[in-house]
Amino acid sequence: MDLNLLPLLLAVAEEQNFRAAADRLGVTRSAVSQGIRRLEDALGIQVVMRTTRSVRLTEAGARLVESLRAPMAAVQDALEANENVPSGRLRLAVTSIAEEFLSGPLLARFAEAHPKVTVDVTVIDDALDIVAGGYDAGVRLGEVIEQDMIAVPVGGPQREVAAATPAYIARYGAPNHPKDLLDHRCVGWRPAPDTAPWRWEFEENGKPFDVMVDPQVTTNDLRLMLRVALADGGITFAPWDCMREHFDSGALVPLLTGYLPPFSGFYLYFPQRQNMAPKLRALINHIRQWRFVD
């Protein structure tokens, strides 16, 4: 049986008129009449008594309508709740260097504002197909996001920076040019075990170039990079935001700042969707408001 006929029966029962039911549902009077007939044929019973002047339910029709009211109302409530209130599990794949997104306050305030949304964050730096992985969205640098994705800025432009402790600089000196890094102990980053360490990118006289340092310590964990550098282990290289608190405290000193141009920052990205889930739309709105407040 076509379950779409049940709301039609309820409309007829409440309006007691085929034309009024048709107007309410946005269909023709003929469609209502034919729908009721199809329902009766499927059930094998008459549910509506028709005359040229009136429409009323049969006893069997009245029993059916009474039994349908509660479950149909529950279905309607569920649809309205799903439409209006963000809820469910929101799965995010976030690069480890998206400091502002991962620092805590942004997600904490989002969770507080949307208690029915469960936020599940996977911190991952590997190239990832978020659709195939079952994620709702991801956060990465804008320059590596596929062009067929929709991207919403998280924070502003970024700048990577080399840094070391005052004790390291006192012992080994500070590099004057990025190429001097080849003579220093470095703490580098790699996205995966089978990939080369990340090249450190600079700019001189408007021309970009990179230095392929040979790190003594290499890891895919940004926090470990910082811990080793903070323990006087060498010069490391990471986004400014990731080291801001250590610069403010004096624990780390920024190096080679004249060779470090800004670049496009981090973005929340997701596939284009005609009907976006309320939970994802809520996160997008939260990020936009967060940027304005910040």
Confidence check: pLDDT of 294 > 60: no
pLDDT at 83: 61
Tens digits of residue pLDDT in 239-256: 888 898 999 999 999 999
Do residues 229 and 96 share a domain?
Answer: no
Nearest of 2, 5, 7, 1 to residue 71 by alpha carbon: 7
What single letter denotes the amino acid at residue 157?
P
Do residues 251 and 275 share a domain?
Answer: no
Indicate the SS3 state at residue 110: helix
Tens digits of residue pLDDT in 153-194: 887 788 889 999 999 999 999 999 999 999 999 999 887 777
Do residues 235 and 170 share a domain?
Answer: yes
Tens digits of residue pLDDT in 1-22: 688 888 888 888 888 888 888 8
Q: Average pLDDT of the chain?
A: 87
Do residues 172 and 197 share a domain?
Answer: yes
pLDDT at 194: 79
Of residues 85 and 58, more confidence is placed in 58
Six token digits for residue 48:
């509506």
Do residues 97 and 174 share a domain?
Answer: no
Planar angle of CA 53, 59, 65, nearest 5 degrees? 90
Do residues 67 and 106 share a domain?
Answer: no
Confidence bin at 198 (pLDDT 50/70/90): confident
Six token digits for residue 278:
């309320």
Distance CA 97, CA 294 (A): 19
Count of C-beta atoms within a 10 Å radius of residue 239: 20
User: What is the residue-wise DSSP string for the chain?
Assistant: --TTHHHHHHHHHHH-SHHHHHHHHTS-HHHHHHHHHHHHHHHTS--EEE-SS-EEE-HHHHHHHHHHHHHHHHHHHHHHHHHHS--EEEEEEE-TT-HHHHSSHHHHHHHHH-TTEEEEEEE--S---TTTTT-SEEEEEGGGS-TTEEEEEESS-B-EEEEE-HHHHHHH---SSGGGGGGS-EEEE-SSTTSPPPPEEEEETTEEEEE----SEEES-HHHHHHHHHTT--EEEEEHHHHHHHHHHTSSEEE-GGG---B--EEEEEE--SS--HHHHHHHHHHHHHHHH-
Of all residues in the chain, what percent carry a pLDDT higher than 90? 43
Do residues 50 and 78 share a domain?
Answer: yes
Confidence check: pLDDT of 212 > 70: yes
> What is the count of structural domains for the chain?
3
Pairing of strands 149-154, 266-271: antiparallel
Torsion-angle region of 134 (φ positive above 0: left; ψ -120 to 50: alpha; else: beta): left
CATH of the domain at 28: 1.10.10.10
Among 32, 48, 83, residue at a domain's last position: 83
Among 52, 83, 114, residue at a domain's last position: 83
Range of the domain at 143: 88-157+264-291
pLDDT at 139: 92
Tens digits of residue pLDDT in 107-128: 999 999 999 999 999 988 877 8
Confidence bin at 145 (pLDDT 50/70/90): confident
Do residues 270 and 152 share a domain?
Answer: yes
Confidence check: pLDDT of 272 > 90: no
CATH of the domain at 98: 3.40.190.10
Confidence bin at 291 (pLDDT 50/70/90): low
pLDDT at 196: 82
* H or E element in which residue 64 lies: helix 59-84
Q: Are 90 and 279 contacting, i.e. CB atoms less than 8 angstroms apart?
A: yes
pTM of the model: 0.60
Do residues 171 and 225 share a domain?
Answer: yes
Among 67, 83, 99, residue at a domain's last position: 83
